[in-house]
Structure 1
Amino acid sequence: MIAEADGTAAAADASDPDVDLVAAPGDLERALSDRQALIQLCLYALDRARSSGVVERLEHGLASIGVTALRAEGERFDPARHEAGGAVPTDDPELEGVVAETEVVGFADQDRLLRAPIVTVYAKRAQ
């Protein structure tokens, strides 16, 4: 009661501390820019990580914010979505043009391609 008498008690109409404040102009743009910078930093770290556990943790963290790893094994090669890094000869006409292996993992942020996977593609064996 003393706290109420001297004005230190919380007012009934005080704002809820769990409610977000109104963003200042430019906050959204700054947050999006910061997000992109952090994503690029994570991709840089992924490319240099020597531990599979670190790679897994970074990929999991990125996936939690909508950035997915792209591994293309078994997909039909598409130059709009893949970068050819090499070829593997095959005698099987069904495999020709199919991705044999992902050399460097690609990434997409939602539907936006950040980096195409670099892949090895099955190609018809030279006769």
Structure 2
Amino acid sequence: MSWFRRRDRDNGVSGRSLGEGNASASPNVDDGVRGSEGAAGNPLAAADLPVNRLEQVTQERDELVRLCLYALDRARSAGVAERIEQGLARVGVMPIRPDGERFDPGRHEAGGTVPTDDPALNGVIAETELVGFADQGRLLRAPIVTVYTARGTS
């Protein structure tokens, strides 16, 4: 008898050893295990995962991305911040630095203004104060930017 088997009230043995199979195992026990060598040999191919498991993996990925952004915002070392940003980019989380673009309140958050005498610069983003991020095209965080404004209108 294995150490993880227990005796019930009638002194019978319940449980099973690791080698014993269970055809009626809970779907939470082996979710995503069957067909594990799916598309292109990827053991975590989305087509092989049950919907509830795919949702769970997606939620866990989103949480890890949020945690990385939190760590990035607090990184004291430029090297550490750069490394986190590179890692995020490898999984499809891209930085948004819209310097030189026209300010769009639907995509950018104004953190401040800087006066300019050049009418062509009015409404253009002067610099990015806090980098924004998009995850495979979905906006996670709008960049906070400083916007040029015509002198006398701020």
Same fold (TM over 0.5): yes
- Whether 2:49 is the aligned partner of 1:50: answer no
Equivalent positions of 1:1-127 (< 5 A) are 19=37, 20=43, 22-24=48-50, 26-126=52-152
**Cα deviation digits, residues 88-118 of structure 1 (max 9, x gap):** 0000000000000100000000111000000
Sequence identity percentage: 64
Larger relative contact order (C-alpha < 8 A, sep ≥ 6)?
A: 1
Distance in 1 between residues matched to 2:49 and 2:117, nearest whole Å:
61
Counterpart position of 2:30: none
**TM-score, normalising length from structure 1?**
0.82
CA drift at 1:24? 4.5
Distance in 1 between residues matched to 2:105 and 2:98, nearest whole Å:
12
Aligned partner letter, 1:73: D
**TM-score, normalising length from structure 2?**
0.68
Alignment coverage as a number of residue pairs: 110
Q: Structure 1: any 5+ residue segments left out of the alignment?
A: 1-17
Distance in 2 between residues matched to 1:30 and 1:91, nearest whole Å:
53
**Cα deviation digits, residues 32-81 of structure 1 (max 9, x gap):** 00000000000000110011111111111100111000011100000011
Q: Structure 2: any 5+ residue segments left out of the alignment?
A: 1-35, 38-42
Q: CA RMSD of the aligned region, Å?
A: 1.6
